Structure 1
Amino acid sequence: MSNYLIEVPDIGEGIAEVELVEWSASVGQKVEEDDVICVVMTDKATVEIPSPVDGEITWQACEPGDMIAVGAEFVKLQVEGEGNYVEGQASVAKAPELQDTSTTTSVALPQQAEKPDDVKKQREKTPSDTEYKTPLASNVFQAAPTRHSSGAPRPEGEKPLASPAVRRRAMEAGIKLNYVAGSGPAGLVTHEDLDAYIRGESSSVVSQSQSGLADHSIEEVKVIGLRRKIAAIMQDTMQRIPHFTYVEEIDVSELERLRSKLNKEKDEEQPKLTMLPFFIKAVVIALRDFPEMNAKFDDNKNIVYRYGGVHVGIATQTDSGLVVPVLRHAETHDLWQSANEIKRLSGAARGGTAKPEELSGSSITISSLGPLGGVVTTPVINSPEVAILGINKVSKRPVWQDGGFVPKDMMNISSSFDHRIIDGWEATLFIQRIKSLLESPATLFM
């Protein structure tokens, strides 16, 4: 038996360090050549690191959420036959080539976005003095199963083990995992355990609300991966860009009648039209008169790049966080083509299969929360763009007309602009042009 050392691969593009998102294999686990060891994230993509050899993992350098430098010692394995280093001697390890994962997820990045401050330095660890934490991945737990006592929460400070998917389900259901018994290895909480708890079949855990006990638990949630990237981008954007937000209400009664009619008469293979394709068409037309809105601002060079083509970023919520797939050359699409492309892009983003080129290159962004859109939002600009438009929900409101109140389908547009480039008057005229088009939808096709 001999030792094999893996170093953090050089992913190119000047990347000096990566963030470990999760381990796919743990210490003591045997892996085969090309098995995925872990998932790391750069500023642009999520990438899987495979094992270059067959062997058993004996040491891992860091934990999920840690930043680690390219070229740093990363993983050690025990292998049959010849290894590439001897303990106590300088290593001669070569990093494995990275393979792009089919589930690459990327968030639209500002051109001048800096990496987060106070990046945690890589911790020096050795197999002899390190107590290994169990990774988050649901298939890597090797310890013997443990059970928590019936009717009581886990001891204070002990965090429940669960995969990200289980944690997400529990959060959406309003369930504290600290009170769910885990049947998996090392007390891992599985989907089946969560289902049993929801059905009230878990005998080893009692809800605090049922027992009448005050809940003093505090769960630590590490901000890592895409969520950390989003946090850094939002902070950078809000610090650098003076936002000007303008809200206007629109009477979309005629537009809703047109949309309903088109959906009733559509072919089976055509997607159902939402408000978004009409909104995109109105934006495309309005940009002909206000090209300064369809632009990016390089504040290092003090240059504004105005685009001829309209590349619309569609802010899309996924399980991992907010991403922005791009509808390219929206000026060439009719309503149905836009609807088809929006459906395809949002599906790819939510499924984690969107390509990097589909998640970058927007020149103006639209954010819509659909029926949950609220009355007013304050959208954050997708830097280095200079404008973002937010669609709020459509609701029936009483509107004064011809001497009396009548029910109307009303919708607000909440828009934000880079005040360094866009003046308030220009922004107002731009939104008023969109309002005019949507309130008289026949003009969208003239």
Structure 2
Amino acid sequence: MARFTFRLPDIGEGIAEAEIVAWHVRVGERVEEDQQVADMMTDKATVEMESPVSGIVVELAGEVGDQVAIGSALMVVETDGDADEAPAAIEEAVEAETPGVEEIQPNPVRAEPVEAPSSTSPAVEKEEQPFDKLKANGEGVSPASEATAKSHALASPAVRARAKDLGVDLAAVKTDGDRVRHADLDAYLRYQSGQGYHAPHASRARDDETIKVIGMRRKIAENMAAAKRNIPHFTYVDEIDVTSLEAMRADLNANRGQRPKLTMLPLMIVAICRSLPQFPMLNARYDDEAGVVTRSGRVHMGMATQTDAGLTVPVIRDAQDKNVWQLAAEIGRLAEAARANKLKPEEMGGGTITITSLGPLGGIATTPVINRPEVAIIGPNKIVERPVFQGDDIVRAKLMNLSISCDHRVVDGWDAASYVQALKKLLETPVLLFAD
């Protein structure tokens, strides 16, 4: 038998390290070739790492939340073959399957045979040599946590956490795909409820729990902290009568044929794109280190999207060139890809302005945080029906507050208010959205 060191391959241009967001194996367990062993997160995507060999796991390089440098040891496996057979098992490059990222070619990973182990059992040998050889080469690693999920069914960290809270073994949950999703868990709970299963009562006292901030949640925390630390925000809110806009949206949906159903969002984006050319300081990116503001001639619209892993912002490229139906289709495609963790790297950066909406859940007003290095973010709020005066008459109207947060280093309050008034004119007279 021989030991094989699986090193973290190059999983993207410019990536120096990746964060461990989930382990799917434990020390002492058997792993098969091509079996998923870990989920690694970079700045661009989450990568599923697969074992290039079969054997017994004897070392894991750290706990969930730890950073591992490219080329450093990720896992050590005691293989089934002899020392000279180990390299042949992995002559080809390890293929890291990144959701939504096509043809990523990591560097080849080759076996590094070491002296054949003695008759000492793997458990005892682990105590005597806890990654000493790796540390001697400057590759610092820490023993993996024993606190991993009992079930080895494939699932996202959010699904695993929910199943743990409900006391559900993921191995018992059936799925049509390759991993358990929230819908599969819901179906399992509905079935079990008919068999007398009851989820833990929500009002019962629970022990405090400490949750490590890792993965997407950590990226969100870092980005939000940097935005609030570096950007002097101000927020302007105005009320907009969207009665006519909602009536037009209903008419368009009634005659849409095979086209996607329109929400308020694509109409809002059309209005934003039509009004931005007169206010170029809002469609910009600020490099505060270089002291340079770049006013964009195109609208790359960031779209804040809530996912199980947290908030992400896919980008609609060249939104100014798309009609309302094309925008609706692109919004649906990007939102689905974001929730399935299949966004491509080029779909996650380079935005020039962002829109964020909570939909029906939206409140009276919001103070959204700017998506740095952009300088403005727009937040439509909840639509409510209220009586309003029209001359001497009182009529029913659909009203919506619109919030905009701006970087005060680049945008003045007068500019933000003037822009919202221009946007308001388009939204309250929606025929202007389609006028040349």
Residue 95 of structure 1: how far off its partner (Å): 12
1:202 positional shift: 4.2
- Residue pairs, 1:182-331, within 5 angstroms: 191=185, 194-195=189-190, 201-202=196-197, 207=201, 209=203, 215-267=205-257, 269-331=258-320
* Structure 1 alignment gaps of length 5 or more: 87-92, 105-125, 142-161, 171-175
Normalised by the length of structure 1, the TM-score is 0.78
Q: CA deviation at 1:247?
A: 0.6
Residue 135 of structure 1 pairs with residue 153 of structure 2 = no
**1:348 & 1:316 partners in 2: Cα distance?**
10
Would you say the 8 A contact 2:11–2:96 is kept in 1? no
Question: How many Å apart are 1:163 and its aligned residue?
Answer: 6.0
1:71 shift after superposition: 3.3
CA distance in 2, matches of 1:246, 1:414: 6
| Alpha-carbon displacement from aligned partner over 1:204-235 (angstroms, at most 9, x marks no partner) | x87485xxxx6251122222111111111111
Name the CA shift for 1:332/1:140 in 2 (closer, same or farther; >3 Å): closer
Deviations 1:96-120 (A, max 9, x none): 645242256xxxxxxxxxxxxxxxx
Q: 1:299 to 1:45 in 2, by over 3 A?
A: same
Counterpart-to-counterpart distance in 1, 2:71 and 2:357: 42
SS in 1 for 2:126: coil
The answer to whether structure 1 residue 78 and structure 2 residue 78 are counterparts is yes
Query: Aligned partners of 1:70 and 1:166: how far apart in 2?
Result: 27
Question: 340-349 or 246-255: which moved more?
Answer: 340-349
Structure 1 residues 16 and 377: alpha-carbon distance in aligned structure 2, compared to 1, 3 A threshold: same
Aligned residues of 1:315 and 1:324 also touching (Cα < 8 A): yes
Tell me the CA shift for residue 127 of structure 1: 2.8
SS at match of 1:291: coil
TM-score, normalization: structure 2?
0.79
Deviations 1:9-29 (A, max 9, x none): 344544333210111222233
Q: What is the alpha-carbon distance in structure 2 between the residues aligned to residue 220 and residue 295 of structure 1?
A: 40
Aligned partner letter, 2:228: M
Q: Report matched runs for 1:32-431 at 5 Å.
A: 32-83=32-83, 97=94, 99-102=96-99, 127-128=126-127, 132-136=145-149, 138-139=151-152, 164-168=158-162, 176-177=165-166, 180=167, 191=185, 194-195=189-190, 201-202=196-197, 207=201, 209=203, 215-267=205-257, 269-431=258-420
1:281 and 1:438 mapped to 2: Cα distance?
Answer: 10
**Does the CA contact (< 8 Å) of 2:99 and 2:341 recur in 1?**
yes
| Cross-structure match for 1:107 | none
**How much does 1:243 deviate?**
0.5
The CA deviation at 1:354 is 1.9
Q: Contact 1:47–1:98 at 8 Å: present in 2 too?
A: no
- Asked if the contact 1:309/1:329 (under 8 Å) is kept, the reply is yes
Counterparts in 2 of 1:8 and 1:425: CA distance versus 1, 3 Å: same
Deviation at 1:401, TM superposition (A): 2.1
Quote the sequence identity (%): 44
Give 5+ residue unaligned stretches, structure 2.
102-124, 131-142, 173-183
Amino acid at match of 1:239: R
User: Structure 1 residues 351, 15: closer, same or farther in 2, change over 3 A?
Assistant: closer
What is the CA deviation profile of residues 223-261 of structure 1, one whole-angstrom value per residue up to 9, with x for unaligned ones?
A: 211111111111111101111101111000111111111
Deviations 1:257-315 (A, max 9, x none): 11111111221x11111111111111111111111111111111111111111111111
Deviation string 1:306-328 (CA, Å, 9 cap, x unpaired) is 11111111111111111111111
- Indicate the SS of the match to 2:363: coil
* Cα shift at 1:369: 1.1
Q: Judge conservation of contact 1:287–1:293 (CA < 8 Å) in 2.
A: yes
2:27 aligned residue: 27
Which residue identity lines up with residue 420 of structure 1 in the other structure?
A: R
Instruction: Give 1:48 shift.
Output: 2.1
Tell me what 2:107 maps to.
none
CA deviation vs aligned residue, 1:118-149 (integer Å, no higher than 9, x gap): xxxxxxxx8327685142484179xxxxxxxx
Contact 1:36 1:51 in 2 (8 A): yes
Aligned equivalents of 2:384 and 2:163: distance in 1? 30
Structure 2 CA distance for partners of 1:420 and 1:200, relative to 1, 3 Å: farther
Q: Which moved more, 1:319-328 or 1:433-442?
A: 319-328
Question: Distance between the aligned counterparts of 2:326 and 2:91, measured in 1?
Answer: 48
Q: Distance in 1 between matches of 2:64 and 2:206?
A: 26
- In the alignment, which residue of structure 2 is the partner of 1:113? none
How many residue pairs align between the two structures?
A: 384
Q: Structure 1 residues 81 and 231, CA, compared in 2 at 3 Å: closer, same or farther?
A: same
Query: How big is the shift at 1:181?
Result: 6.8
Whole-angstrom CA distance in 2 between matches of 1:102 and 1:375: 37
Aligned-residue Cα RMSD (Å) equals 3.2
